Structure 1
Amino acid sequence: MVLIVESNSALALLWQRHLERLGHVVRIADDEDHALGLLREVEFDIIILDLVLENGSALSISDFANYRQPEARVIFVTNSSFFSDGSIFRHCANACAFMTTATAPDDLAAMVEHYSAMRA
């Protein structure tokens, strides 16, 4: 199961469609509160998490996921240069990848496939 946490609903739906074509079950949250609620209720293998959310903190979501679901891996995405030095991997123990939001959906889906296979 994949959780996408993204404020841009069109982008989240684009990613969701690509992942569902590969057979993944996908849930979408558009802010911190919704994401935390889903993390309390559903077990996820992969979390695609935008670092720059309109409402809430991506780092709080990552931290909560690490506590609640320590096996879940987080693929961080962003459209900014924040954390472009790779320091996200020092701040978030569950981070497995860091990509731009402009990454092709097929490439993002390939990353999800890779890290999902590692969990199986």
Structure 2
Amino acid sequence: MARILLAEDDDSLRSFLARALERAGHEVVSCADGDAAVGALDEGPYDLLLTDIVMPGADGIEVAREAGARQPDLRIMFITGFAAVALTAAQTAPQAKVLSKPVHLRDLVAEVERMVAA
């Protein structure tokens, strides 16, 4: 079981992602925006940060930078619907995984399992 910090501003997607990950046996701390995610870092440590990139407040890249500074071994996975933003994320955190929206819950859970096992 992994402890996952989830940051996603779309309420329904955040709910679907959290439920799928919880059903797979993970503990999920969900945040509705980047600022809330940065605040939730104090509740760590986490095994994985799963964050949208484009969000109100701190964007996902800022959240990943702050999370990495506080917990250098944290695994990071970005989800985004914007290809250009995905490239920026990959350059910012080369060890991170970037998934494009729409993402199938089955595929997301499988990627999370791979990252946590690595």
Q: Find the counterpart in structure 1 of residue 57 from structure 2.
A: 55
* Superposition deviation, residue 82 in structure 1: 2.0
Q: Map Cα deviations across residues 75-95 of structure 1 (whole Å, 9 max, x no partner).
A: 1111112234x44232125x4
Find out whether 1:27 has 2:29 as its counterpart.
yes
* Superposition deviation, residue 96 in structure 1: 2.2
Quote the Cα distance in structure 2 between the aligned partners of 1:46 and 1:74. 6
Runs (4 or more) in structure 1 with deviation over 4 Å come to none
Identity among equivalent positions (%) equals: 28
Quote the Cα distance in structure 2 between the aligned partners of 1:89 and 1:55. 21
Q: Map Cα deviations across residues 63-113 of structure 1 (whole Å, 9 max, x no partner).
A: 1011001111111111112234x44232125x4211112110110011111
Quote the Cα distance in structure 2 between the aligned partners of 1:61 and 1:48. 10
The structure that is helix-richer by fraction is 2
TM-score, structure 1 as length reference: 0.88
Instruction: Please list, as runs of the form range in 1=range in 2, the aligned pairs for 1:50-89 lying within 5 A after superposition.
Output: 50-84=52-86, 86-89=87-90
Q: Which amino acid in structure 2 is aligned with residue 91 of structure 1?
A: T
Quote the Cα distance in structure 2 between the aligned partners of 1:56 and 1:64. 10
Quote the Cα distance in structure 2 between the aligned partners of 1:88 and 1:52. 11
Q: Find the counterpart in structure 2 of residue 116 from structure 1.
A: 116
Q: Map Cα deviations across residues 42-74 of structure 1 (whole Å, 9 max, x no partner).
A: 211111111110332222111101100111111
Quote the Cα distance in structure 2 between the aligned partners of 1:101 and 1:48. 13
Please list every run of 5 or more consecutive structure 1 residues that lacks an aligned counterpart in the other structure: none
Q: CA RMSD in A?
A: 1.5
Quote the Cα distance in structure 1 between the aligned partners of 2:88 and 2:59. 17
Quote the Cα distance in structure 2 between the aligned partners of 1:36 and 1:87. 20
Equivalenced residue count is: 116
8 Å CA contact 2:49–2:77 kept in 1: the answer is yes
TM-score, structure 2 as length reference: 0.89
Find out whether 1:45 has 2:47 as its counterpart.
yes
1:43 aligned counterpart, secondary structure: coil
